[in-house]
């Protein structure tokens, strides 16, 4: 299923947040959204997820979700949102229980997503026993359990330290390479965007407008740490964003 954003504009009261966003996210690709603080990235994600409606324009779902998809649009948040009293397995089974899936069918799905996220040995652990990186892997496993058409990822790695972030990026690349998924991925981190994005959508400061959509052809599995090609793209992104980021920063100080 592709996602198409068609002329999305939005204001909260007198504050214009987004202006005329047109974008297509093809199935099986990762679209990263970057832009200065407050430019409307998370708002756009909420529109795609159907949590809110834009003042103008529409979000179109083109094509069908996968046949056994339980929830077409599934979020992965920065702060994991795991239930502390439930084990890793219990956190994943919860989303299946919501869809009436229990017993052997649930066990099969849980075993599959735990294996894909390399968590099989931790099925009985509680969240408090896990590092931040492991917790986020559980949240990703939980998202995969509903076999979403599109994962909506809002700064999923930004609560993690830089080494853990590198490991999780490797994990996401391995996960996508084994079985491509579609994602809209909001991040502040340009290194993350060039490592994971097939397309990188650069938004201006508020009201967020698309400044440029940068496509990266290099396969995800061929993108490494400190890759000179990616560093060149990252520099281009920063050249696009620097002045706007500074202006957005100054604006927040005066709010
Ligand atoms: N429910 C709301 N009511 C009023 N204003 C809102 C609401 N949600 C967001 N905003 C405002 O809309 C603008 C865009 O917010 P949003 O969180 O989408 O930006 P962002 O690009 O994700 O920011 P950041 O990078 O800092 O997370 C901000 O100025 C924010 O204060």
Q: pLDDT for 225-240, tens place per residue?
A: 889 999 999 999 999 9
Q: Is 77 within a domain?
A: no
Residue 161 lies in a domain: yes
Same-domain check for residues 156 and 238: yes
CA 11 to the chain's CA centroid: 23
Residues 142 and 173 in one domain: no
pLDDT at 254 over 70: no
Same domain? 173 vs 254: yes
Counted domains in the chain: 2
Assigned token pair, 3: 């996602």
- Ligand 1 atom at minimum distance from 18 CA: 14
Can you give the CATH number for the domain in which 11 is found? 3.40.50.300
> Given the CA of residue 46, which atom of ligand 1 is nearest to it?
18
- Domain span at 13: 1-65+150-255
Helix (H, G, I), strand (E, B) or coil at 212: strand
Q: What is the pLDDT of residue 253?
A: 62
Residue 147 phi/psi, 5-degree rounding, is 45, 60
pLDDT at 153 > cutoff 70: yes
89 and 182 co-located in one domain: no
Decide which of 130, 147, 164 is a domain's last residue.
147
Q: Which protein residues are within 6 Å of ligand 1, measured from CB?
A: 12, 17, 35, 37-43, 206
Residue nearest to atom 31 of ligand 1 (CA): 38
Q: Are residues 36 and 155 part of one domain?
A: yes
ipTM: 0.96
If we measure between CA atoms, which residue out of 5, 2, 94 comes closest to residue 44?
A: 5
Instruction: Residue 56: name the closest of 23, 14, 10, 3 by CA.
Output: 10
State whether 15 and 45 are in the same domain. yes
Is the residue at 108 inside a domain?
yes
Same domain, yes or no: 119 and 237 = no
Do 172 and 57 belong to one domain? yes
pLDDT value, residue 244: 81
Average pLDDT, the chain: 92
The CA distance from 54 to 81, in Å, is 26
176 shares its domain with 237: yes
Do 110 and 171 lie in one domain? The reply is no
**Model confidence pLDDT, tens digit, residues 34-72:** 999 899 999 999 999 999 999 999 999 999 888 888 989
pTM over 0.90: yes
In the predicted structure, residue 245 carries a pLDDT above the cut 90: no
Has residue 78 been placed in a domain? no
Does some domain include residue 232? yes
- Helix count and strand count (H, E) for the chain: 7, 9
The verdict on 191 and 251 lying in the same domain is yes
Q: What is the pLDDT of residue 250?
A: 80
For residue 20, tell me if it sits in a domain.
yes
Is-contact 208 45, C-beta < 8 A? no
Give the residue from 97, 123, 147 where a domain finishes: 147
Q: Residue 32: inside a domain, yes or no?
A: yes
Q: How far is the CA of 69 from the centre of ligand 1 (A)?
A: 30
Q: Are residues 223 and 101 in the same domain?
A: no
């Amino acid at each position: 299923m592709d996602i198409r954003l068609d002329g999305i504009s939005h204001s909260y009261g007198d504050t214009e947040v987004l202006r005329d966003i047109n974008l297509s996210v093809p199935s099986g690709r990762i679209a990263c959204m970057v832009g200065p603080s407050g430019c409307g990235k998370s708002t756009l994600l909420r529109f795609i997820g159907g949590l809110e409606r834009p003042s103008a324009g529409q979000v179109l779902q083109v094509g069908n979700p996968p046949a056994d998809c339980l929830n077409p649009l599934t979020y992965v948040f920065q702060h994991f949102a795991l239930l502390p009293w439930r084990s890793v397995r219990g956190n994943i089974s919860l989303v299946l229980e919501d869809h009436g899936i229990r017993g052997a069918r649930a066990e099969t799905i849980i075993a599959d997503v735990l294996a894909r996220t390399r968590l099989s040995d931790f099925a009985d652990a509680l969240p408090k026993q896990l590092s931040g990186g492991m917790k986020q892997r559980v949240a990703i496993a939980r998202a995969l359990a509903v076999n979403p058409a599109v994962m909506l990822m809002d700064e999923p790695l930004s609560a993690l330290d830089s080494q853990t972030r590198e490991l999780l990026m490797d994990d996401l690349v391995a996960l996508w390479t084994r079985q491509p998924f579609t994602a809209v991925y909001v991040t502040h981190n340009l290194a993350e965007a060039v490592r994971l994005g097939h397309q990188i959508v650069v938004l201006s400061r508020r009201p967020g407008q698309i400044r440029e959509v940068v496509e990266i052809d290099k396969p995800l599995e061929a993108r490494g740490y400190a890759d000179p090609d990616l560093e060149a793209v990252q520099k281009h992104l920063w050249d696009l964003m620097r002045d706007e980021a500074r202006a957005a920063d100054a604006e927040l100080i005066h709010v």
